[in-house]
Amino acid sequence: MTLDGQFQNLPKLLKVSEVAAFTSTHERTVRRWIKDGRLHAVEHPSGLRIPRRALWRFLGLDLALSA
């Protein structure tokens, strides 16, 4: 599957646990990235959510999608 295909298959707003699974890290690590300002997150009634575009930017893949 291409990067664009993976991007399109992700929900528009990801849970911290989904980002942790996608990046093969612990949820605490994802929360630290958010707290440090490295990863953008938004408040949602059911908890923090990370826009998929923010995750792609964080991973340095944003340029690959625009090419």
Residues 6+ apart with CB under 8 A from 28: none
Q: What is the pTM of this model?
A: 0.82
Tokens 């009634």 found at: 45
Alpha-carbon span 33 to 2, nearest angstrom: 26
CATH architecture of 3-66: Orthogonal Bundle (1.10)
Neighbouring CB atoms inside 10 A of 56's CB total: 18
Tens of pLDDT along 1-55?
676 777 778 899 999 999 999 899 999 999 999 999 999 999 999 999 999 999 9
